[in-house]
Structure 1
Amino acid sequence: MQEDMTRALKSILQEYCEISSLLTEEIVKVHQEISASVDQIDPLSEYEHFIESYRSPETPEASVEFDASLLDETDNLPANEILWNTLTADSLQAMLSSATDELSLTQQNLRTKEALADDLDAKIQTSEQSSEKKSDCVLLLSQKLSLLELHHVVQSLQSSETRLASQKALLDAKMAAATSPPPPPPAPAPPYEDDTRSLGSTVNTHTHTHTHALTHIYSRVANFGYLAGVRF
């Protein structure tokens, strides 16, 4: 952009040299000096070392530390998560409505500015091809400055659109999760048939073993009583 401004200034001075009248020898001499100085202007090299010569010192980045004690009264709220309950529902719904309206307005403005930028860009290309006078570059420079400002506005609107769309998506997801019914409780597990069979077989085995042991003991006691002369 600096080169375009220098080129526009050069065109103005050249046109002034062409239309100025020569009345005296002193004016002729001054005019020749002006013409020679104008011819020496080179838009490409005019700002070649400008940044190195006039660079401002680097500003140290400010250091900021967050005071963690501010979180002591938040009742252990989870970080990076929207809390939706009876206390925050109204404010979050209002925030969602505001974000939706602002997003719609931002998208409309973005489309309008993009159309203006495209139209102005087409005009600039046409002017560059059809310029006749040297002073036409002044108008061309003004159009380029306007186009640059439009590009900055479009970039700002695009950033706002992305931010608002992200906020709206988070709030929509949180509201959908808060208003959805809770999942049904899990169904009870069906009984396992082999468990009953195993338990019954185990009980029957223990009962049979116990009965057999009692019969054996009774038989031995009876034999002992018979030998001793006692009848059972």
Structure 2
Amino acid sequence: MLQSWEVLVAQTESLSQLMKRRSEDLQEGPINKLTLLIRDKQQLRKNYSEQWSAQRQELIRVTQTALETLKNSYRQAVRNAAQAKRKYQEVIKEREQEKAKERYVKASVKLYDLHNEYVLSVRAAQVYHQQHHRHIQPALLQALQSLQQEMLLILKEILQEYFDISTLLHHEVVHVHREMSTALTAIDPHCEYDSFIQQNRSVGEDPACVDFDLSILDENGRLFTAEIDLNDLTLENIQHKLTALEEELMDLARTLGSKQSTVEQLEQELCSEREGVTKGQRVYQFSKSQALEQSRQQVVLSQGLRAKLEVQRLLLKEKLEQLGSEDPPPALELSSSSTSNDKNQSAFKVDGFISNLSGLFKTKSETPVGQTSQLVEECDHGASAASANAAEANAATCVRMRGGGGVLDQLEVSEESA
């Protein structure tokens, strides 16, 4: 009896030690990994929510907010130009007519610039709208599906590890473990999320995008719907805009190349790590899988931005290629004065205004120092050799070449000399 009791006590102690070891194995293995997986799941949900909100806000900004602001400015510019034109046509006195003409030209320049900017923004919004619904959002869902499948596979491995550890606890749980084994075998990450995108995608056709608002042109019949207006007032602005777009596209191409390199590097690292991975270790690679999907999302977003900028560049480039080497058409039809002297003086002042206006968009480096000095010297010594009207023109040109003031100050110099 005493010997049997000692055996029972010893076996009970052995069973207790066995259960304690298995409990520690469960705590250090599956339970810790499951805690880490839950934290990754929460982070994934947060990242998805932030990315979805950011993409939605960008879509609203490009297709609604920015366009609405630009459209209001455009509509006001149309009214201002129409009002300036009416005042110019109604003015009788020559001095008042010059001031009205100046306001009319300035209002027209602003109108043409806003018109071209609105055309570019509308077209860019249309392209980005398509990119958002056909590429950016599907890519986000694809990334989420891939990560969900990865997490489900990790969960399966954790549960399998739990099953393997707990199987040795008791022979009485064989039936329970058989049921658990059947349930584990039934888990298939790919089948589980097979219809994920189909269930979560937008229903029906893509929502309607923005279009050119025809009501803006009610007071101005010279501008054409959704078409860049290239004339003597907008030529330099369009050229500068095209150059800026090309530089921005080059920077974006470099950024996109860097992001694609990051994606390729992460793909290679994950591929190498997964070749020798053992069961239960995949959970430690999930953060890198999530970083890979985020990098892919950045590539898709950059491609959408590139498509938006590229369509603007093509619109401007096509317009400039249509013009070729010819002079741009005049933007405004200005009436001439009654006498020939008034015609010459009026034409000179308008040409001087346009030249000065063009000078505002040029950097100082575009005019060589030697050429500027020569022109200034000709202006200083030209009064004795030219007629009175030519002397007045040289004086106005000297003011412009020396950069002595703004456009309005230069016009006042021309008027006082007249």
2 CA distance for matches of 1:66 and 1:83? 14
Q: In the aligned structure 1, how far is the partner of 2:323 from the partner of 2:202? A: 53
| 1:126-205 matched pairs, under 5 angstroms | 126-132=272-278, 134-175=279-320, 180-181=325-326
Residue of structure 2 in register with 1:71 after alignment: 217
In the alignment, structure 1 segments of 5+ residues that lack a partner are 183-232
Structure with the higher fraction of residues in helix conformation: 2
Letter in structure 2 aligned against 1:121: E
TM-score norm. by structure 2 comes to: 0.35
The separation in 1 between residues aligned to 2:288 and 2:219, in whole angstroms, is 55
| Residues 51 and 107 of structure 1, relative CA distance in 2, 3 Å threshold | closer
Alpha-carbon distance between aligned partners in 2 of 1:179 and 1:36, rounded to the nearest angstrom = 75
Cα gap change, 1:30 to 1:146, in 2 (>3 Å): farther
In structure 2, distance between residues paired with 1:171 and 1:3: 45
Contact residue 12 and residue 135 of structure 1 kept, 8 A: yes
Alignment check: 8 A CA contact 1:17 1:31 kept = no
Q: CA deviation at 1:100?
A: 2.3
Residue matched to 1:185 = none
Summarize the Cα distance change of 1:67–1:58 in structure 2 as closer, same or farther, 3 Å threshold: same
Relative to 1, partners in 2 of residues 1:110 and 1:10: Cα closer, same or farther, differing over 3 Å? same
Aligned equivalents of 2:240 and 2:197: distance in 1? Answer: 49
Cα offset, 1:103, TM superposition:
0.8
Q: Deviations over 1:136-192 (max 9, x none)?
A: 32244443333333223223323333442343344345446657245xxxxxxxxxx
- Displacement of 1:59: 6.5
- CA apart distance, 1:6: 1.6
Structural mapping, 1:36-115, within 5 Å? 37-47=183-193, 58=203, 68-115=214-261
Distance (whole Å) between structure 2 residues aligned to residue 51 and residue 96 of structure 1: 39
Partner Cα separation in structure 2 for residue 158 and residue 48 of structure 1:
27
Listed one character per residue, the Cα deviations across residues 19-66 of structure 1 (whole Å, up to 9, x for unaligned) are 56977899x5897365554344233443457678x6689368756887
RMSD between superposed Cα atoms in Å: 3.9
Instruction: Report which stretch shifted further, 172-181 or 145-154.
Output: 172-181
Contact 2:212 2:225 (8 Å CA) reproduced: no
2:8 aligns with none
Contact 2:214 2:225 in 1 (8 A): no
Compare CA radii of gyration and give the structure with the larger one.
1
TM-score, normalised to structure 1, is 0.57
In the alignment, the residues of structure 1 paired with residue 246 and residue 202 of structure 2 have an alpha-carbon distance, to the nearest angstrom, of 43
Q: Per chain length, whose mean CA-contact separation is higher, i.e. which structure has more relative contact order (CA < 8 Å, sep 6+)? A: 1
SS at structure 1 position matched to 2:189: coil
In 2, Cα distance between equivalents of 1:49 and 1:128: 26
Residue equivalent to 2:263: 117
Separation (CA, whole Å) in 2 of partners of 1:93 and 1:150: 35
> How many angstroms does 1:88 deviate by?
2.5
Deviations, residues 68-87 of structure 1 (Å, cap 9, x unaligned) = 33321332323443212243
